[in-house]
Amino acid sequence: MIGDPRTARRDNGPKTDGSAVYAMDLHLENQAVAVMLRSPRFGGTLVFFDDSAASDMPGFVRAAALPTRTAVVVYGENTWAALQARDAMGAEWDFSRADNRGSERIKADLLAAVNGDAEFDAKGSAAVTAELLDGAAQVIERDFFFPYLAHATVEPLTCTIAPTENGVTLHDGCQMQTAAQMAVAAVLQVPHENVEVTTLYAGGTFGRRSTQTADYHVEAALAFALAGGRSSWSGPARMTSGAGTTGPPWRTRCASAWTNTGGLSAGTIACQASRSSRAGRWMRSSCRTGSIPPPSKGCMTRPTTFPVTMSA
């Protein structure tokens, strides 16, 4: 394949020679850099913040609380200045409605859900599958736990909003352009047709940019509005306080039924996933399946059962 022109992609050249423009590379004239100081717990809300330690730092512009009270937006003349100012600031958070569980409690809750009854039955015969498991010559059962996955290392959530004559232009490594367009239009109260979306390279698109809430677009639009319409580049979150920027933890229990001749006769996979929204609400789901993985959207939104019986 190496050197074969038939395998060439349109982005091979720019990605190889460094000319490709990613969402985090964009720098416009008179552009401010905005980064977020967020609650260290899902669902925490801002009580107050103190930017006195950052006030004299070179390149620091200002800080302001988002109207949602979910974060403090910190403005800088460049990325380094904004990040340094954010790290120097202090803030107090209200955790009364936050998810205050630790890792062990989350794992225990997920395991309890895996061991519980599924709440939705799709096609398949749970009874036949259970009978084959009960009568199998050998049953192999294993538990797996997948912790929170931080996307910040592989997929920096950055975008830039710039003013136009009748609206704005959103520069972003978009996966769901229409959702982003509608969200920015709603926040800025402009017709959606006046929000132009320029899609750049994302530097990693592992699903985090395709949220239905368009959360980081909403934050960027709020930062843009608070900046008085100045072009704003919304930068990456802290690894320790990127509420809502992680993949959900999973707890999975797999069981397979084997015959005396080594054949696989039946199998189940019971999964439970937790995902936190920006408001700290948790969605839980459980799935049972045989030889195929559960559909991600169904599995992420409600308890679902997919028993599959396999022929011996």
Return the closest-CA partner of residue 271 out of 247, 290, 252. Answer: 252
Domain ranges of the chain: 22-96+156-234, 103-150+246-309
Pick the most confident of 87-101, 249-263, 287-301: 87-101
Residue 110 has pLDDT above 50, yes or no: yes
Non-local (6+) Cβ contacts of 225 within 8 A are 187, 188
Rounded to 5 degrees, φ, ψ at 173 are -85, 65
Residue 124 has pLDDT above 70, yes or no: no
| 222 against 265, higher pLDDT | 222
Q: If you classify domain 22-96+156-234 with CATH, what class do you get?
A: alpha beta
What local confidence, expressed as pLDDT, does residue 242 receive?
45
| 224 against 142, higher pLDDT | 224
Length of the chain: 312
Q: 70-79, 104-113, 141-150, 298-307: lowest mean pLDDT where? A: 298-307
Pick the most confident of 2-16, 66-80, 107-121, 149-163: 66-80
Non-local (6+) Cβ contacts of 80 within 8 A are 59
Q: How confident is the model at residue 46 (pLDDT cuts 50, 70, 90)?
A: very high
Output the pTM of the full model.
Answer: 0.75
Question: Tens digits of per-residue pLDDT, 186-214?
Answer: 999 999 999 999 999 887 767 778 877 88
